[in-house]
C-alpha cells in the first residue's frame, strides 16, 4: 500500500506543458524529495496531489483516495505548505497557529507534542505579527500550521527557498524527526545538496521525471570517473577544459569545475595536465571525486536536452 | 460552528488591524454626508439680484423687502435701466434681475435670469416667484410641495448616499477581501482544509454586513440631527430594507471576487461596474425619467434605484412597511439570483 501513487499524469497550461507523463509512488513514512530547477513542474505536481488543480490526463491517489473525486476526504488528511509564504501576515504567530488548528477542527494543545520541537524555535516571538518574522521563522511557523492537525501526508513545496543556510539545516533536521513519527513527507527543493537527506528522490526537469531512486543509488549510477579541476585562472580554465578534445562534459561547480572524460581517454590525466600546462594554467589541481546528485542531474538533463 | 466563529474573528482582526482602511470605512459616510450636505449642494442660497423698481409704491416696496429678507437672495443693488442689468449680468455680479413695471402699465413683472446653468436658473425663477407671492407674480397655478416643502436637497441625497455607501463597503470590501486571500496565497491553504466554501464566503461577508449597518446608523443619525432630515416612517422597515440591499451588494462583491484575481482589479471592477450605476442611473443625481429608453431599462436592474426609492418612501414620505413591499421583493430576488450564481462560481479548486 503506497501513500501517494501518481499514474501517467500530464498537465499543460495553454502552450506550456508543465508535467509530461509523470508516474511516481511514495511509500508510507517515506521522506520523498522532488529535485529540480524552477519550471520543472514541482509546484504543479503538488497542486494536483493536494486536489487544487486537475490533471489533463492520468490519475493520482493520496492515502488511497482519488485526487479528482475524493477531494473532501483528502483535504482532511494532508498538510500543505505552498511555496510562497501563505499565512496571515497581520495575525500574530500564535493567532495563525490557533486559526489553522480550528480550521482543521482541532486544537494546538491536542497536537502540541507533534509541533513542540519546531514551535519552541518561534515561541519567543509568539505575539509578533507573522509578516515581521525572518524567512526561516516564517517557514517554521508555516510548517507548524501545516502540521497542527496531524496529517497523514505532508506536502512541502520548496520550504527552504529564501531561507538562510543555518535555518535550512535546522529545517531538514525537523523533517527527519517528523519522518520518524511516521508522517509521509513529500518535499520539493531546487537545492541539490538537500537531496541527500531524503529517503528517495525524483530528479525532475522540464515536466519530466528523469530518475527515481535513493540518493546513494543515483550517485552510484553515475558510472564514469569524475574529476574536480582547479587552477589559478578558473574562468579561462572552464573554456579550455570544454575545448579539450577528450572532454565529455565540464560544468562549473562553485569553487571548482567537474569534468568527465570520453571513454577512450578516461584515466589519461597526464595528457590533460600537459594540455592545460600548454594553455598557461598554473596551480593546477586535478582530483578524482565521487559524483553528487547535481552531477547526476546535469548528466541526465544533458541526455534529455 | 467553532471553525466559523474563529474565521469571523480572524476577519475582524484583519479589519481592525488595518487602521487606515478602517478609518476610511467608518469616516467615509460622515465625510460624504457632510460634503453633500454643505459643500456639494444643488440648493441655491444668497444669489445676488438686482431690482429696477419703476412702480415705487407700497406694493413694490413690500415685494422688494420680501426678496431682500429671503435666504435665497441677496439684494445687491437697485438699478435704473435694462442696460445696467445687462452690464451686471455680463460681469457676473448678479444671477437674477427683477423689473417691476410702473403701476399704470398693464403687463406683469419681468424676471431676467443668467441661465448659463439652466438648473440653477429654473430653481431661482421658481424661488423668486414663490417669494414674491402667487398673485403678484401672475403664477397660473398654486403650487404645493407635499413632502419636502422647503425643497431641501438633503431629502434627495441622504437616501442616495446610503445607497452608495452600502454598495461601496459591501461590494468593494467583500470582493477585495476574498481576492486578497487569493493574491496572498492563503486561499490555497484554506482550500486544502476541511473548511466548507460556504463558511469561507459567509465569514468574509458577515463583518462587512455589520460594518455597513454601523454606517447606516451613522448616516441616519447625522442626517436627522445635522441636516434635519427626518425618518418619518418605520425605522424597522428602513433597517430591513437596508439589510436586504446590503445583501445584494455583498453578493455582487462575491461575484466580482470569482471573476478577478488581483485586489486592484477587484477595486476597479467594483468601482466602475457598481459605483457608476449607483451615481448615474439610480436617480440620485440625474432624473432617470428624462433618459433615453435604453438607459431607463438599464436603471431597472440597478439595485440602488430600488433601494433609494424605498428609502425615500420611508424616510421622507413616512410610509410604512407595506409601501416598500415591491422594492423589498425585487431586491430579495436579486439576492437569490446573485447568491446562486456566485456560490456556483466559487471554485473548489484553483483557477
Q: Does A53 touch chain B (CB under 8 A)?
A: yes
Nearest to B311 by CA among B160, B92, B174: B160
Q: Are residues B259 and B330 in the same domain?
A: yes
Mutate to test the interface with B, among A102, A131, A132, A147 (most CBs of B within 10 A): A102
* Number of domains observed in the structure of chain B: 2
- Torsion angle (degrees, nearest 10) of CA A221, A222, A223, A226: -150
Is there a contact between B192 and A90 if contact means CB atoms under 8 Å apart? no
- Beta partners for residue A230, in sequence order: A285
Is there a contact between A72 and B194 if contact means CB atoms under 8 Å apart? yes
Is there a contact between B14 and A50 if contact means CB atoms under 8 Å apart? no
Q: Are residues A204 and A226 in the same domain?
A: no
Q: Are residues A151 and A274 in the same domain?
A: no
Q: For residue range A53-68, what is the model confidence (pLDDT) as tens digits?
A: 999 999 999 999 999 9
Structural domain ending residue among the three candidates A214, A240, A261: A214
Q: What is the ipTM of this complex?
A: 0.85
Q: For residue range A166-222, what is the model confidence (pLDDT) as tens digits?
A: 989 999 999 999 999 889 999 999 888 899 899 999 999 989 998 899 999 999 888
Q: Is the pLDDT of residue B35 over 90?
A: no
Q: Are residues A228 and A202 in the same domain?
A: no
Q: Is the pLDDT of residue A266 over 80?
A: no
- Give the minimum alpha-carbon distance from A66 to chain B in angstroms, rounded to a whole number: 15
The mean pLDDT value for B9-28 works out to 88
The mean pLDDT value for B67-94 works out to 88
Q: Is the pLDDT of residue B14 over 50?
A: yes
- CB-closest option in B18, B190, B349 to A90: B18
Structural domain ending residue among the three candidates B83, B98, B132: B132
The mean pLDDT value for A75-95 works out to 92
The mean pLDDT value for B3-12 works out to 90
Structural domain ending residue among the three candidates A177, A193, A214: A214
Q: Are residues A116 and A177 in the same domain?
A: yes
Q: Determine the structural domain holding residue B210 and report its residue range.
A: 2-40+152-345
CA B237, CA A113: separation in Å to the nearest integer? 55
Q: Determine the structural domain holding residue A115 and report its residue range.
A: 4-214
Q: Is the pLDDT of residue B135 over 60?
A: no
Write down the pLDDT at residue B134: 53
CA B325, CA B333: separation in Å to the nearest integer? 12
Flag whether B184 is in a domain: yes
Q: Pick from B179-183, B202-206, B265-269, B331-335 the range whose average pLDDT is largest.
A: B331-335
Write down the pLDDT at residue B320: 83
The mean pLDDT value for A5-17 works out to 92
- CB-closest option in B7, B192, B351 to A75: B192
Q: Are residues A229 and A175 in the same domain?
A: no
Structural domain ending residue among the three candidates B104, B132, B160: B132
| CB interface of A with B, residues 209-268, below 8 Å | none
Helix axes B303-315, B154-166, angle to 10 degrees: 140
Count of CB atoms within 10 A of residue B189's CB?
24
Instruction: Kindly state the cell numbers that stand for A139.
Output: 517557514
Write down the pLDDT at residue A83: 87
Q: What is A16-39 written as a DSSP string?
A: EEEEEEEEEEE-TT-EEEEE--TT
The mean pLDDT value for A102-107 works out to 92
Identify the band that residue B285 occupies on the pLDDT scale cut at 50, 70 and 90.
confident
Q: Is the pLDDT of residue A6 over 80?
A: yes
Which uninterrupted H or E stretch holds B111? strand B110-113
Q: Are residues B102 and B251 in the same domain?
A: no
Q: Is the pLDDT of residue B36 over 80?
A: no
Is there a contact between B192 and A53 if contact means CB atoms under 8 Å apart? no
Q: Are residues A197 and A51 in the same domain?
A: yes
Identify the band that residue B42 occupies on the pLDDT scale cut at 50, 70 and 90.
low
Write down the pLDDT at residue B137: 47
Flag whether B83 is in a domain: yes
Hunting for cell 447606516 — which residue is that?
B216
The mean pLDDT value for B257-282 works out to 88
Q: For residue range B136-154, what is the model confidence (pLDDT) as tens digits?
A: 445 455 666 777 777 677 7
Structural domain ending residue among the three candidates B132, B165, B190: B132
Q: Are residues B203 and B312 in the same domain?
A: yes
Q: Is the pLDDT of residue B302 over 50?
A: yes
- CB-closest option in B7, B13, B192 to A52: B192
Query: Who contacts A85 (Cβ-Cβ below 8 Å, separation ≥6)?
Result: A138, A139, A142, B185
Q: Are residues B264 and B341 in the same domain?
A: yes
Q: Is the pLDDT of residue A161 over 90?
A: no
CA A203, CA A222: separation in Å to the nearest integer? 14
Three-state SS at B248: helix
Q: Is the pLDDT of residue A305 over 70?
A: no
Q: Is the pLDDT of residue B32 over 50?
A: yes
- Average per-residue pLDDT for chain B: 85
Q: Is the pLDDT of residue A12 over 90?
A: yes
Q: Are residues B53 and B27 in the same domain?
A: no
Q: Are residues B19 and B158 in the same domain?
A: yes
Looking up residue A288, the CATH number of its domain turns out to be 3.30.70
Structural domain ending residue among the three candidates A191, A214, A237: A214
Own/partner pairs, B203-207, CB within 8 angstroms, 24+ separation: B203/B4, B203/B7, B203/B8, B203/B10, B203/B11, B204/B11, B204/B174, B204/B177, B204/B178, B205/B174, B205/B250, B205/B253, B205/B254, B206/B8, B206/B11, B207/B8, B207/B11, B207/B12, B207/B15
Identify the band that residue A144 occupies on the pLDDT scale cut at 50, 70 and 90.
very high
The Cβ-side half-sphere exposure at A60, using a 13 Å CA radius, reads 30
Flag whether B267 is in a domain: yes
Which uninterrupted H or E stretch holds B112? strand B110-113
Q: Are residues A202 and A270 in the same domain?
A: no
Q: Are residues B161 and B206 in the same domain?
A: yes
Q: Are residues A141 and A254 in the same domain?
A: no
CA A80, CA B233: separation in Å to the nearest integer? 55
Q: For residue range B312-324, what is the model confidence (pLDDT) as tens digits?
A: 999 888 888 888 8
Q: Are residues A80 and A63 in the same domain?
A: yes
* Number of domains observed in the structure of chain A: 2
Looking up residue B67, the CATH number of its domain turns out to be 3.40.1710.10
Q: Are residues A155 and A174 in the same domain?
A: yes
Q: Is the pLDDT of residue A298 over 90?
A: no
Identify the band that residue B41 occupies on the pLDDT scale cut at 50, 70 and 90.
low
Contacts of B189 in chain A (CB under 8 A): 80, 82, 86-87, 100, 145-146
Q: Are residues A73 and A178 in the same domain?
A: yes
The DSSP 8-state label assigned to residue A150 in this structure reads: -
Q: Are residues B290 and B205 in the same domain?
A: yes
Q: Are residues B177 and B307 in the same domain?
A: yes
Flag whether B270 is in a domain: yes
φ, ψ at B98 (rounded to 5°): -115, 130
Mutate to test the interface with A, among B17, B19, B189, B347 (most CBs of A within 10 A): B189
Q: Are residues B174 and B244 in the same domain?
A: yes
Write down the pLDDT at residue B139: 46
Is there a contact between B192 and A76 if contact means CB atoms under 8 Å apart? no
Q: Are residues B307 and B254 in the same domain?
A: yes
Nearest CA in chain B to A73: B194
Is there a contact between B193 and A82 if contact means CB atoms under 8 Å apart? no
Write down the pLDDT at residue B155: 80
Q: Does A86 touch chain B (CB under 8 A)?
A: yes
Q: Is the pLDDT of residue A1 over 70?
A: no
Strands (E), A124-266: 153-156, 184-189, 200-205, 208-213, 226-230, 247-253, 256-261
Q: Are residues B64 and B31 in the same domain?
A: no
Contacts of A159 in chain B (CB under 8 A): none
Q: Is the pLDDT of residue B334 over 90?
A: yes
Is there a contact between B351 and A53 if contact means CB atoms under 8 Å apart? yes
Flag whether B145 is in a domain: no
Q: Are residues A201 and A241 in the same domain?
A: no
Flag whether B72 is in a domain: yes
- Beta partners for residue A5, in sequence order: A25, A61
Write down the pLDDT at residue A212: 92
Helix H, strand E, coil C: the string for B123-162 is HHHHHHHHHHCCCCCCCCCCCCCCCCCCCCCHHHHHHHHH
Amino acid at each position: 500500500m503506497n501513500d501517494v501513487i501518481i499514474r501517467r499524469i500530464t498537465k499543460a497550461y495553454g502552450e506550456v506543458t508543465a508535467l509530461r507523463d509523470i508516474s511516481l509512488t511514495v511509500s508510507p513514512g517515506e521522506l520523498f524529495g522532488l529535485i529540480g530547477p524552477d519550471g520543472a513542474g514541482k509546484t504543479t505536481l503538488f497542486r494536483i496531489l493536494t486536489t487544487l488543480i486537475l490533471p489533463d490526463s492520468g490519475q493520482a491517489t493520496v492515502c488511497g483516495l482519488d485526487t479528482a473525486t475524493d477531494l473532501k476526504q483528502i483535504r482532511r488528511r494532508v498538510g500543505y505548505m505552498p511555496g510562497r509564504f501563505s499565512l496571515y501576515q497581520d495575525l500574530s504567530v500564535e493567532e495563525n497557529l490557533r486559526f489553522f488548528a480550528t480550521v482543521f477542527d482541532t486544537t494546538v494543545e491536542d497536537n502540541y507534542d507533534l509541533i513542540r520541537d519546531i514551535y519552541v524555535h518561534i515561541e519567543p516571538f509568539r505575539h509578533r505579527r507573522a509578516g515581521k518574522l525572518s524567512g526561516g521563522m516564517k517557514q517554521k511557523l508555516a510548517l507548524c500550521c501545516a502540521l497542527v492537525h496531524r496529517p497523514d501526508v505532508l506536502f512541502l513545496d520548496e520550504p527552504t527557498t529564501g531561507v538562510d543556510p543555518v535555518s535550512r539545516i535546522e529545517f531538514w533536521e525537523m523533517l527527519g524527526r517528523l519522518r520518524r513519527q511516521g508522517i509521509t513527507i513529500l518535499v520539493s527543493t531546487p537545492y541539490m545538496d538537500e537531496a541527500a537527506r531524503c529517503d528517495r528522490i525524483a530528479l525532475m526537469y522540464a515536466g519530466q521525471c528523469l530518475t527515481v531512486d535513493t540518493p546513494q543509488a543515483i550517485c552510484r549510477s553515475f558510472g564514469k570517473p569524475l574529476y574536480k579541476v582547479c587552477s589559478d585562472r578558473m574562468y579561462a580554465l572552464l573554456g579550455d577544459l570544454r575545448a579539450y578534445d577528450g572532454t565529455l562534459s565540464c560544468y562549473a561547480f562553485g569553487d571548482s569545475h567537474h569534468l568527465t572524460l570520453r571513454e577512450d581517454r578516461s584515466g589519461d590525466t597526464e595528457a590533460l595536465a600537459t594540455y592545460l600546462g600548454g594553455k598557461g594554467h598554473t596551480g593546477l589541481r586535478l582530483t578524482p571525486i565521487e559524483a553528487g546528485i547535481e552531477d547526476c542531474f546535469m548528466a541526465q538533463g544533458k541526455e534529455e536536452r | 460552528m467553532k471553525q466559523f466563529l474563529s474565521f469571523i474573528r480572524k476577519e475582524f482582526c484583519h479589519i481592525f488591524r488595518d487602521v487606515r482602511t478602517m478609518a476610511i470605512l467608518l469616516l467615509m459616510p460622515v465625510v460624504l454626508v457632510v460634503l453633500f450636505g454643505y459643500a456639494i449642494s444643488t440648493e441655491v442660497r444668497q444669489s445676488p439680484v438686482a431690482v429696477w423698481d419703476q412702480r415705487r409704491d407700497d406694493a413694490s416696496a413690500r415685494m422688494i423687502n420680501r426678496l431682500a429678507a429671503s435666504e435665497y437672495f441677496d439684494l445687491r443693488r437697485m438699478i435704473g435701466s435694462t442696460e445696467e442689468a445687462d452690464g451686471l449680468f455680463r460681469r457676473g455680479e448678479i444671477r437674477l434681475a427683477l423689473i417691476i413695471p410702473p403701476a399704470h402699465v398693464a403687463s406683469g413683472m419681468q424676471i431676467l435670469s443668467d441661465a448659463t446653468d439652466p438648473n440653477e436658473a429654473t430653481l431661482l425663477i421658481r424661488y423668486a416667484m414663490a417669494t414674491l407671492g402667487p398673485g403678484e407674480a401672475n403664477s397660473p397655478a398654486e403650487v404645493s410641495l407635499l413632502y419636502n416643502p422647503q425643497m431641501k436637497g438633503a431629502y434627495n441625497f441622504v437616501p442616495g448616499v446610503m445607497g452608495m455607501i452600502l454598495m461601496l463597503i459591501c461590494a468593494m470590501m467583500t470582493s477585495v477581501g476574498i481576492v486578497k486571500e487569493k493574491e496572498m496565497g492563503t486561499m490555497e491553504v484554506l482550500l486544502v482544509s476541511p473548511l466548507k466554501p460556504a463558511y469561507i464566503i459567509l465569514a468574509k461577508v458577515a463583518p462587512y454586513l455589520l460594518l455597513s449597518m454601523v454606517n447606516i446608523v451613522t448616516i441616519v443619525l447625522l442626517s436627522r440631527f445635522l441636516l434635519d432630515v427626518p425618518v418619518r416612517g418605520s425605522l424597522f422597515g428602513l433597517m430591513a430594507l437596508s439589510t436586504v440591499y446590503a445583501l445584494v451588494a455583498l453578493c455582487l462583491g462575491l461575484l466580482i471576487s470569482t471573476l478577478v484575481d488581483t485586489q486592484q482589479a477587484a477595486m476597479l471592477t467594483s468601482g466602475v461596474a457598481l459605483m457608476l450605476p449607483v451615481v448615474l442611473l439610480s436617480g440620485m443625481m440625474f432624473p432617470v425619467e428624462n433618459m433615453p429608453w435604453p438607459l431607463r431599462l438599464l436603471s431597472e436592474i440597478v439595485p440602488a434605484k430600488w433601494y433609494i426609492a424605498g428609502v425615500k418612501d420611508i424616510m421622507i414620505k413616512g410610509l410604512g412597511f407595506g409601501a416598500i413591499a415591491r422594492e423589498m421583493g425585487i431586491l430579495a430576488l436579486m439576492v437569490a439570483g446573485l447568491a446562486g450564481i456566485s456560490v456556483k462560481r466559487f471554485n473548489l479548486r484553483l483557477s
